[in-house]
């Protein structure tokens, strides 16, 4: 028997025309509507609802009301006991309905629900505004039980539509705590702030709230009705709260406030039911950004933003409200890392602003003839609002994470308006007589002699900072730069200093000025302009076209400038931390530039230094990391910086715990690195930021050191030089015999010393493979960059890069080789299982052919005429005849790590991860000989094997797992090609005298151990027909042997 329904809680008991159950209004939301009853295997007869949920018809012996459903605890809902405030006060019966109860609708009264029938505890924010309650089934996925969606006091922003399920009764009690992270709770109803508390230097937890991209979309018909509904009419208190958040924090973002607060708030309250569609569009965008800046539930801002986004798409005329709406929506999408939408909105806002001629003063624009202005503003106030809107677009284009990859549409040279006035003049609609913006000369604000507003200095610093970023971006994007670029950098540095010298005393950075800016509501702008100043100076001193060509003195000078400005950023953050300990409410929404500047500063300060100062650096990093964590609560793109700083902190703590004991790992090393025996230092190899090539980075150049060698290659015949590729991202060219007399002196054995001729630096990741052209004028390299680098030997610059885009490899490149006549082709094999053939002479960015038969990573390849032979982790050797379009596959007994062909091409040498090297007949695929030894292991890493001494021997490195070297030495094994017997086991020392400290490292168990020199790459002079070979491995030293 179906349970009966209490008709006191719904306006109509019969099912609606759509065949679903009645829409039952609880005072804050509609219950899920009853759809049908049907059997569920294992559960019996169940009720199904339009949100996809279902429940049993009888639970614990109690019948469930089909239309009421169950509570969040899974119990049958027994009563709603809902009455609006008006009916409660009048002590009359209340039949809840939406948007007003039956009684209030009948007598025309204001109807408002608080959902607090018993005990006065508020279990829901307040009645949401608008028509968004009319949800369709597709948008009914949000649950009030989601993390971060718990109820709060009326001061918290509320969603423009109600949550769909009834709040848990427990949430109403004042002593209940809401979980905001895996380690933290806040009392129910407390307003959360980002930096409103003393900075906590413990490890943070990322917000558990649902990202905007995962939230359900609201149907267009609901959005349309919401757009035409005034949210202030439904819930004026909550709207006023969100507006206060907006005006209190908007200057802490990437724009400046372009709406007068008092005028706008008065207009919102006094124009109920008289707002135009453009006005409603802007109001919803303001509410979206206000909710996002309040650190409240993100779904609230997301839903407001959906209404505003829908409205701006259907705007029919260009208006200032449309531009302002798109600016705020773009800012919101930047905050939630929806960069594609942000890009489109910035572009459309700029286009509409250009149509309105916002880059001109109002008297010279199409608005010159206006006599009435939005929101009741005067002509002076409207003119200033236009200026501030244009400056907001100008700043947003440059401060968003899209810059500088996204070129700006508003050029400083095309702006012919005044700088923004002070906030007081804007509010009072008084003409402050600000000077016109001049992009070429030093600070016009300083030259005018008038009292200036912080916003005008901020605008100019954003212009200088963005010019610096663009200049560096052009240096990295062009193969060569003229002397004009160097002059440009010097002029930008001078202008930054001029800007700083022109600041009035009240705007120079210090603790008292920071507090004054906070009390005036301008702390975000104050921090942003000073952070940008230091960041610009770091970038201009850090990146140069070719750091390797700079003198040591010049490079050291630039590094010191970077270091000083990095300390300046840390001083700003530490000063803010000290003030927040005393006045924790002065900054609740950190500016997004905080994460950018702090990450860059800590990248510089933690790259290297004396161990005696590491405690201070760790303390500074903790403060900086906490500031970035606070920023990430509002600006999601800051989470990458948060993670990077956390990893760097862990690394520094490990270095500190080791003390002065010398050690070396894949990421860092410590010891006597400066030549001063009394000073111990640390060096971290990899910078936090890899925006530009490493050969441009002074920071990398100042901490340059060798890492494990992954690739070695002789130059083409006669093979007088050796080229090496290392884990430190560098390629080095050596002459193993500095003079003929010395070469003759070394009859046999390792050559003690060679001469470094050139260093090639452009890779951002480790170098894994090299090949030299037959004319010795160029070579190719590949590695972790996912691009193939084509180098000019003489100039040490890359002439082409293949890949690094949608047409290239999607993972690291393990092997590269020249091919074709006159080495006109380049072949590359990668971890993405593909082999790609590139045309080295044409300008095409696409490969001319992709070989995709492999089912796992390509580890090695060789080229012989029109044939390409590849080895893969899938245990296959594939021989491609490119001209005939044929592929022959040989199945091996393990993953293939190395290939080499005999000179006649009829046999091939194959190494596999089963500790065997095999000589294979290419005609019939039979194994002619297998080479192994009980003491030789190759089961985990790529060990190269080659044919040498006129194809008399097979030589290969060793993993050193069977017989580890006692002194860190490695080993090479040589087999007789014909008999398969081991003819020699050649020890390879760790390195020359004084290189011993690099043998020590820290294992996973935290204990120090002596590493073995695992020889992973070998090259024989003149392709196996010369009189010497070289080997490289984990020690970072290349050892040369004579036969």
Domain that holds residue 624: 607-702
What pLDDT is attached to residue 550? 67
- Residue 961: phi and psi, rounded to 5, are -95, -25
Tens-place pLDDT, residues 504-523? 989 999 888 988 888 888 89
Q: Label residue 71 by pLDDT band (50, 70, 90).
A: confident
- Say whether pLDDT at 809 is over 60: yes
**If you average pLDDT over each of 36-50, 472-486, 585-599, 693-707, which comes out highest?**
585-599
What pLDDT is attached to residue 679? 66
What pLDDT is attached to residue 283? 94
- Say whether pLDDT at 409 is over 90: yes
Q: Of 684, 702, 720, which one is at a domain's C-terminal end?
A: 702
What pLDDT is attached to residue 442? 62
pTM (two decimals): 0.57
Cα(5)–Cα(96) distance, integer angstroms: 14
pLDDT, mean of residues 988-1004: 56
Cα(147)–Cα(665) distance, integer angstroms: 40
The full DSSP string for 817-844 is EEESGGG-EEEEEETTS-EEEEESSS--
Are 672 and 795 in the same domain? no
Are 230 and 324 in the same domain? yes
- Say whether pLDDT at 467 is over 80: yes
* DSSP helix/strand/coil, 908: strand
Q: Comparing 465-469, 633-637, 909-913, which segment has the lowest mean pLDDT?
A: 633-637
Q: Which residues face 946 on adjacent strands?
A: 955
What pLDDT is attached to residue 607? 86
Exposure string (b/e) for 253-262, b if CB count within 10 Å is 16 or more?
bbbbbbbbbe
Are 672 and 794 in the same domain? no
- How big is the CA angle at 348 (ends 342 and 351), to the nearest 5 degrees? 140
Q: Label residue 194 by pLDDT band (50, 70, 90).
A: very low
pLDDT, mean of residues 252-275: 88
- Say whether pLDDT at 890 is over 90: yes
Cα(650)–Cα(632) distance, integer angstroms: 20
Q: Label residue 673 by pLDDT band (50, 70, 90).
A: low
Contact 1031, 1041 (CB under 8 A): yes
Nearest C-alpha neighbor of 680 from the set 610, 604, 598: 610
What pLDDT is attached to residue 107? 73
Q: Higher confidence at residue 582 or residue 318?
A: 318
487 located within any domain: no
Are 843 and 986 in the same domain? yes
Cα(697)–Cα(620) distance, integer angstroms: 23
DSSP letter (8 states) at residue 729:
S
Q: Label residue 953 by pLDDT band (50, 70, 90).
A: very high
Contact 939, 1012 (CB under 8 A): no
What pLDDT is attached to residue 165? 33
**If you average pLDDT over each of 457-461, 574-578, 745-749, which comes out highest?**
457-461
Q: Which residues contact 938 (CB under 8 A, 6 or more apart)?
A: 897, 911, 912, 913, 914, 915, 916, 956, 958, 959
What pLDDT is attached to residue 28? 58
What pLDDT is attached to residue 2? 37
Tens-place pLDDT, residues 892-934? 989 999 999 998 999 999 999 999 999 999 999 999 999 999 8
612 located within any domain: yes
- Residue 794: phi and psi, rounded to 5, are -70, -45
In a 13 Å sphere around the CA of 583, the CA atoms on its Cβ side amount to 12
pLDDT, mean of residues 354-358: 93
Q: Which residues face 733 on adjacent strands?
A: 723, 758
Q: Label residue 959 by pLDDT band (50, 70, 90).
A: confident
- Residue 815: phi and psi, rounded to 5, are -155, 140
Q: Tokens 């209340």 belong to which residue?
A: 94
- Say whether pLDDT at 1004 is over 60: no
- Say whether pLDDT at 1026 is over 50: yes
Q: What is the CATH number of the domain that holds 837?
A: 2.130.10.10
207 located within any domain: no
What pLDDT is attached to residue 671? 67
1014 located within any domain: yes
pLDDT, mean of residues 21-32: 65
For 880, the enclosing helix (H) or strand (E) is: strand 876-881
Q: Higher confidence at residue 551 or residue 493?
A: 493
What pLDDT is attached to residue 274? 81
Tens-place pLDDT, residues 155-189? 444 445 433 233 333 323 333 322 223 333 333 33
The total number of structural domains in the chain stands at 4
What pLDDT is attached to residue 1023? 79
Q: Label residue 965 by pLDDT band (50, 70, 90).
A: low
Percent of the chain surpassing pLDDT 90: 36
What pLDDT is attached to residue 171? 29
Tens-place pLDDT, residues 380-389? 999 999 999 9
Q: Label residue 766 by pLDDT band (50, 70, 90).
A: confident
- Say whether pLDDT at 1003 is over 50: no
Are 994 and 901 in the same domain? yes
Contact 582, 519 (CB under 8 A): no
Are 365 and 237 in the same domain? yes
Are 235 and 378 in the same domain? yes
What pLDDT is attached to residue 995? 53
Q: Per DSSP, which regions of 123-174 are E strands?
A: none
Nearest C-alpha neighbor of 74 from the set 163, 2, 145: 145
899 located within any domain: yes
Are 682 and 794 in the same domain? no
Tens-place pLDDT, residues 533-581? 999 999 999 888 767 666 666 777 888 899 999 999 999 999 998 888 8
22 located within any domain: no
What pLDDT is attached to residue 929? 93
What pLDDT is attached to residue 752? 53
Nearest C-alpha neighbor of 423 from the set 617, 563, 257, 605: 257
Q: Comparing 311-320, 725-734, 880-889, which segment has the lowest mean pLDDT?
A: 725-734
Q: Of 417, 443, 475, which one is at a domain's C-terminal end?
A: 417
- How big is the CA angle at 395 (ends 392 and 400), to the nearest 5 degrees? 115
Q: Answer positive or negative: Cα dihedral of 208, 209, 210, 211.
A: negative
Are 778 and 696 in the same domain? no
pLDDT, mean of residues 272-278: 82
686 located within any domain: yes
Exposure string (b/e) for 713-751, b if CB count within 10 Å is 16 or more?
bbbbeebebbbbbbbbbbbbbbebbeeeeeeeeeeeebb
**If you average pLDDT over each of 196-200, 658-662, 686-690, 832-836, which comes out highest?**
832-836
Q: Which residues face 876 on adjacent strands?
A: 891
Are 251 and 366 in the same domain? yes
Q: Label residue 756 by pLDDT band (50, 70, 90).
A: confident
Q: Label residue 130 by pLDDT band (50, 70, 90).
A: very low
Tens-place pLDDT, residues 217-239? 788 888 888 888 888 888 888 89
Are 408 and 259 in the same domain? yes
Nearest C-alpha neighbor of 128 from the set 287, 265, 321: 287
User: Within 208-319, where are the H helices?
Assistant: 220-227, 231-234, 236-249, 261-270, 277-293, 298-313
Q: Of 106, 125, 152, which one is at a domain's C-terminal end?
A: 106
492 located within any domain: no
SS3 content of the chain, % helix, strand, coil (to 5): 35, 20, 45
What pLDDT is attached to residue 9? 37
Q: Which residues face 1031 on adjacent strands?
A: 1018, 1039
Instruction: Determine how β-strand 54-56 pairs with β-strand 44-49.
Output: antiparallel
Are 698 and 789 in the same domain? no
What pLDDT is attached to residue 738? 55
Cα(685)–Cα(707) distance, integer angstroms: 9
């Amino acid at each position: 028997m179906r349970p009966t329904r209490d008709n006191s809680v719904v306006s109509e008991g019969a099912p609606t025309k759509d065949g679903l159950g009645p829409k039952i209004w609880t005072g804050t939301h509609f219950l899920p509507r009853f759809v049908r009853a049907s059997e569920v295997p294992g559960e019996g007869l169940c009720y199904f609802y339009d949100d996809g949920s279902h429940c049993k018809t009888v639970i614990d012996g109690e019948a469930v009301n089909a239309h009421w459903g169950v509570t969040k605890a899974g119990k049958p809902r027994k009563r709603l006991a809902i009455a609006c405030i008006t009916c409660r006060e009048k002590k009359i019966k209340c039949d809840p309905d939406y948007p007003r109860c039956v009684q209030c609708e009948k007598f025309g009264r204001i109807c408002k629900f608080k959902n607090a029938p018993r005990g006065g505890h508020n279990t829901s924010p307040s009645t949401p505004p608008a028509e968004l309650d009319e949800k369709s089934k597709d948008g009914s996925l949000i649950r009030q039980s989601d993390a971060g969606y718990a109820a709060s006091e009326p001061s918290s922003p509320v969603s423009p539509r109600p949550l769909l399920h009834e709040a848990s009764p427990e949430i109403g009690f004042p002593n209940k705590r809401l979980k905001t992270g895996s380690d933290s709770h806040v009392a129910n109803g407390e307003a959360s702030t980002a930096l409103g508390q003393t900075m906590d230097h413990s490890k943070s937890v990322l917000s558990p709230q649902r990202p905007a991209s995962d939230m359900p979309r609201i149907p267009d018909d609901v959005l349309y009705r919401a757009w035409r509904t005034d949210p202030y009419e439904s819930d004026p208190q909550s709207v006023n709260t969100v507006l206060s958040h907006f005006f209190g924090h908007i200057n802490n973002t990437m724009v400046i406030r372009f709406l007068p607060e008092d005028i706008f708030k008065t207009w919102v309250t006094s124009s109920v039911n008289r707002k135009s569609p453009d006005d409603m569009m802007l109001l919803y965008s303001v509410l979206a950004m206000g909710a996002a800046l309040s650190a409240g539930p993100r779904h609230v801002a997301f839903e407001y933003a959906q209404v505003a986004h829908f409205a701006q798409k259907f705007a029919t005329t260009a208006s200032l409200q449309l531009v302002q709406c798109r600016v705020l929506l773009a800012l919101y999408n930047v905050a939630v890392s929806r960069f594609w939408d942000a890009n489109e909105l910035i572009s459309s806002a700029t286009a509409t602003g250009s149509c309105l001629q916002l880059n001109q003063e109002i008297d010279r624009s199409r608005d010159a003839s206006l006599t009435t202005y939005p929101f009741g503003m005067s002509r002076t106030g409207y003119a200033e609002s236009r200026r501030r809107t244009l400056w907001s677009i100008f700043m947003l284009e440059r401060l968003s994470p899209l810059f500088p990859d996204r070129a700006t549409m508003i050029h400083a040279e095309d702006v012919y308006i005044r700088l923004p006035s002070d906030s007081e003049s804007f509010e009072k609609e008084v003409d402050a007589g600000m000077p016109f913006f001049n992009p070429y000369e030093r600070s016009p604000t300083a030259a005018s002699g008038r009292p200036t507003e912080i916003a005008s200095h901020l605008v100019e610093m954003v212009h200088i900072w963005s010019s610096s970023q663009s200049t560096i971006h052009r240096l990295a994007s062009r193969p060569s730069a003229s002397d004009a670029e160097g002059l440009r950098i010097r002029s930008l540095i001078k202008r930054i200093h001029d800007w700083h010298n022109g600041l009035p005393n009240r705007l120079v950075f210090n603790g008292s000025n920071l507090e004054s800016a906070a009390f005036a509501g301008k702390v975000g702008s104050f921090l942003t302009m000073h952070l940008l100043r230091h960041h610009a100076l770091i970038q201009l001193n850090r990146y140069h076209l070719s750091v390797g060509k700079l003198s040591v003195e010049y490079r050291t000078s630039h590094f010191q400038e970077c270091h000083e400005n990095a300390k300046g950023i840390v001083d700003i953050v530490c000063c803010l931390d000290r003030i927040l300990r005393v006045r924790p409410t002065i900054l609740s929404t950190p500016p997004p530039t905080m994460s950018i500047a702090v990450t860059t500063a800590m990248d510089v300060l933690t790259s290297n230094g004396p161990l005696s100062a590491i405690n201070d650096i760790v303390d500074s990093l903790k403060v900086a990391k906490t500031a970035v964590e606070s920023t990430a609560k509002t600006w999601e793109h800051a989470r990458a910086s948060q993670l990077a700083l956390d990893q760097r902190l862990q690394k520094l703590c490990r270095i500190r715990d080791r003390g002065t004991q010398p050690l070396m790992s894949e990421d860092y090393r410590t010891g006597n690195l400066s030549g001063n025996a009394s000073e111990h230092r640390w060096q971290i190899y990899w910078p936090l930021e890899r925006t530009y090539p490493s050969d441009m980075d002074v920071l990398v150049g100042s901490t340059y050191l060798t890492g494990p060698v992954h690739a070695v290659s002789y130059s083409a015949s006669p093979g007088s030089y050796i080229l090496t590729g290392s884990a430190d991202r560098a390629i080095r060219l050596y002459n193993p015999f500095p003079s003929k007399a010395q070469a003759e002196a070394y009859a046999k054995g390792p050559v003690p010393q060679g001469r470094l001729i050139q260093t090639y630096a452009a890779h951002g990741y480790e170098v894994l493979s090299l090949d030299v052209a037959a004319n010795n004028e160029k070579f190719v390299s590949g590695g972790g960059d996912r691009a193939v680098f084509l180098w000019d030997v003489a100039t040490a610059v890359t002439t082409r890069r293949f890949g690094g885009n949608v047409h290239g490899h999607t993972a690291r490149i393990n092997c590269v080789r020249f091919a074709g006549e006159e080495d006109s082709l380049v072949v590359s094999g990668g971890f993405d299982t593909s082999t790609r053939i590139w045309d080295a002479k044409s300008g095409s960015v696409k490969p001319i052919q992709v070989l995709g038969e492999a089912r796992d990573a390509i580890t090695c390849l060789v080229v012989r005429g029109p044939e390409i032979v590849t080895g893969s982790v899938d245990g296959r050797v594939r021989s491609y005849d490119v001209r005939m379009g044929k592929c022959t596959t040989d199945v091996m007994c393990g993953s293939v790590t190395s290939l080499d062909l005999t000179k006649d091409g009829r046999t091939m040498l194959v190494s596999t991860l089963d500790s065997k090297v095999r000589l294979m007949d290419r005609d019939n695929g039979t194994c002619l000989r297998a080479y192994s030894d009980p003491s030789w292991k190759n089961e985990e890493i790529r060990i190269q094997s080659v044919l040498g001494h006129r194809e008399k021997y097979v030589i290969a490195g060793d993993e050193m797992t069977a017989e580890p070297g006692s002194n860190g030495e490695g080993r090479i094994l040589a087999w007789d090609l014909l008999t398969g017997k081991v003819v020699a086991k050649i020890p390879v020392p760790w390195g020359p005298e004084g290189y011993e400290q690099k043998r020590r490292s820290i294992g996973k168990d935290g204990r120090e151990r002596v590493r073995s020199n695992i020889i992973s790459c070998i090259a024989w002079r003149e392709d196996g027909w010369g009189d010497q070979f070289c080997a490289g491995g984990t020690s970072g030293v290349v050892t040369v042997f004579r036969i």
